[in-house]
Amino acid sequence: MTPRHLRLAAPLVALLLNAPALAFDLQAHRGGRGLAPENTLAAFAQAAALGVDTLELDVGLTADGVVVISHDTSLNPDHTRDAQGQWLSAKGPKIRSLTLEQLQRYDVGRLRPESDYGKQFARQKPVDGQRIPTLTALFDQVRALPGTALHLNIEIKVDPTLPDETASPEAVTDALLAEIERAGMAGRVTIQSFDWRTLARVAQRAPDIQRAYLSSARTLADSRWTAGLALASHGGSPAQLVKAAAGPSKKAVIWSPSFGPLTQAQVQEAHTLGLLVLPWTVNTRADMARLIDWGVDGIITDYPDLLRDVLRERGMPLPTGTEAVR
């Protein structure tokens, strides 16, 4: 190819780089909490064995500055037992108030059966003894897996409406970036958050890391979540809001909306803007099928086994599980 050919091809290459990915991204929400205890090493291992493209997880920061994997910013009585094996009787201490050593005294390997959570996820198989893991431990586990290119979709759990609940968005983001850098995992992670201030910081400090802009009806209506940007100033279009928040990006930008209010027209608009669309948290066959028909780029689900069935029935490629590799 001559330099002239390269120049002529440049716009096409740029278009392709910005285009939605061709491969479908099967994401196990909290490691696939429909099947195994959420955000535990056991769940992540099980999802990897089954075969998913991406492990979805949530992170926070302990009192001694360790990045740990937890959806809740305080210990959740629905799936937490103390060192004596007793269920917490109410919401427990904040993650930010405990050291890693204190945090790891709690067992998060089983749902309290009579809780709403326990009833909702009756298929979940307990794994007693599971602790809230460090992100380092998950990185080590993932890197040790045979023959897989598993990706991690890491959600920064901070809440602009509850600033005392966690460490600051800056502190959590910086600790996470340092951890990713230390582990050499920048190419295998996406950082997602409802609090787009964290993503602005990622864009500034680690522009090579992919970002996913989470949204729900509640967060889109409150500019504290969207880094000060108002939906109304962007034609009421969430995709345009994401595009404006993300600015220029080296990696394809992801919009991760709550799947309920999502429309086909919104998916199309997002694609026109060069965004990838990855809705959460989709747990029924009918919803999965509808969203795949609309052309979403992946789905975040509590039931990766069900999503695999739906993809298989449609003749779509499936990620290889580590069980199949062994």
Binding piece for Ca ion, criterion CB under 5 A, among 16-24, 53-61, 174-182, 237-245: 53-61
C-beta closer to Ca ion: residue 72 or 155: 155
C-beta closer to Ca ion: residue 78 or 155: 155
- The pair of structure tokens assigned to 240 is 């345009």
Neighbouring residues of 96: CB distance < 8 A, sequence distance ≥ 6: 60, 61, 62, 63, 73, 165, 166, 167
Binding piece for Ca ion, criterion CB under 5 A, among 1-9, 80-88, 147-155, 224-232: 147-155
Return the one option of ligand G3P, Ca ion, none that residue 38 interacts with (CB less than 5 to 8 A, by type). Answer: none
Q: Which 300-319 positions form the footprint of ligand G3P (CB under 6 A)?
A: 300
C-beta closer to Ca ion: residue 31 or 92: 31
Residue window 118-147: x/- pattern of binding to ligand G3P, with contact defined by CB under 6 A = ------------------------------
Binding piece for Ca ion, criterion CB under 5 A, among 112-120, 151-159, 231-239, 247-255: 151-159
C-beta closer to ligand G3P: residue 192 or 210: 192
**Burial readout 33-45 (b: 16 or more C-beta within 10 A, e: otherwise):** bbbbbbbbbbbbb
Q: Which 152-191 positions form the footprint of ligand G3P (CB under 6 A)?
A: 155
- Residue 95's φ and ψ, nearest 5 degrees, are -55, -40
Cβ 125 to Ca ion shortest distance, Å: 21
Q: How far apart are CA 141 and CA 153, in angstroms?
A: 15
End-to-end Cα, the chain, rounded Å? 42
Return the one option of Ca ion, ligand G3P, none that residue 174 interacts with (CB less than 5 to 8 A, by type). Answer: none
Residue window 232-271: x/- pattern of binding to ligand G3P, with contact defined by CB under 6 A = ------------------------x---------------
Inter-axis angle of helices 264-272 and 238-246, nearest 10 = 30
- Asked whether 117 and 111 are in contact (CB, 8 A), the reply is yes
C-beta closer to Ca ion: residue 155 or 269: 155
Instruction: Decide if residue 58 touches ligand G3P (CB under 6 A).
Output: yes
Instruction: Decide if residue 195 touches Ca ion (CB under 5 A).
Output: no
Residue window 196-235: x/- pattern of binding to ligand G3P, with contact defined by CB under 6 A = ------------------x---------------------
Q: How many residues does the chain have?
A: 326
Q: How far apart are CA 110 and CA 107, in angstroms?
A: 8
Instruction: Decide if residue 29 touches ligand G3P (CB under 6 A).
Output: yes
Cβ 29 to ligand G3P shortest distance, Å: 6
C-beta closer to ligand G3P: residue 56 or 287: 56
Q: How far apart are CA 78 and CA 91, in angstroms?
A: 9
Q: How far apart are CA 275 and CA 270, in angstroms?
A: 5
Q: How far apart are CA 111 and CA 43, in angstroms?
A: 13
Cβ 165 to ligand G3P shortest distance, Å: 14
Task: Spell out the long-range contacts of 81-87 with Cβ–Cβ below 8 A and sequence spacing 24 or more.
Answer: 81/106, 81/107, 81/110, 82/106, 82/107, 87/112
List of residues contacting Ca ion (CB under 5 A): 58, 155
